[in-house]
Structure 1
């Protein structure tokens, strides 16, 4: 199966929310609710508004297999407010998710490679992302396997959600 990646837009918000919902269901089935809780993104008005904002302000990409959306990420020029900005141009990965029915197909890695290439093509040499760093740090290890290096850890929110910022020099 060939993964193709295309630019996304506001019309893709329902598909993006569907992939995020799929990821939540997958995490819940594993008993891993620390990352994103147990409520589907599409049922959380704050989450829906965040997805819409990133899609409107950033550069969303959708991975497809045979024309079916199977993964997504959005690039912006800065991190969320909970992560300190850096003193150089950067691109920041937000909302990386894939339809869990396609787990193991390399969808996330293809999207991260595309994000790196889009960042490089823009003449920018720093790509960053943050992720959930709780439990067994599997997600941190995933980004490290995709060329990122852990930089600073952080906690956010009333529940002290553990996060990790990672960077990749291009």
Structure 2
């Protein structure tokens, strides 16, 4: 295994691969004791969630990171956030469903996908890239995004789920 990360555009036929990555991420998170971020049930066992992932992929540009030809990570870039976050007052690209398959953690898959998202945003002539994430678990995911060049903007909550919006100028 040479661990070279290749990023390709995804499409509707990649939904099973994306769901597999998301399911693996849930298992990985749960193994670290993080159950509040995406819950404990695999994405594939939640029909409304499966439908939502497919809808988001259809609204935006899904990207698949592969390591040795195996789907290792994913994100979808959309022109707007989910309905729980206010849209920006300017054109933006929004990172949705960023996840790395648990087997590929530590190889820089997420960082490669985020760098690709920044480049795609720049290529589209848009200067604002935003993302939101789970702000619980001592803010570890927020800190990860900050290490990738994002800056905190607005905190939010959905029910009892704490979130944080971050942005990057590209």
Q: CA deviation at 1:130?
A: 0.1
Q: Deviations over 1:57-116 (max 9, x none)?
A: 110000011111100000000000000111100000000001111111000000000000
TM-score (norm 2): 0.97
SS in 2 for 1:62: strand
For residue 91 of structure 2, the aligned residue among 75, 89, 95 is: 89
SS in 1 for 2:114: helix
SS in 1 for 2:136: coil
SS in 2 for 1:137: helix
Point out where structure 2 has 5 or more consecutive residues left out of the alignment: none
Aligned to 2:164: 164
SS in 2 for 1:113: helix
Aligned to 2:19: 17
For residue 133 of structure 1, the aligned residue among 132, 135, 157 is: 135
Aligned to 1:146: 148
| Aligned positions of 1:13-92 closer than 5 A | 13-92=15-94
TM-score (norm 1): 0.97
Q: CA deviation at 1:165?
A: 0.1
| Aligned positions of 1:97-112 closer than 5 A | 97-112=99-114
Distance in 1, matches of 2:116 and 2:8, equals 10
Aligned residues: 168
SS in 2 for 1:136: helix
Point out where structure 1 has 5 or more consecutive residues left out of the alignment: none
Distance in 1, matches of 2:144 and 2:153, equals 15
> RMSD of the TM alignment (CA)?
0.7
Distance in 2, matches of 1:63 and 1:150, equals 26
Aligned to 1:124: 126
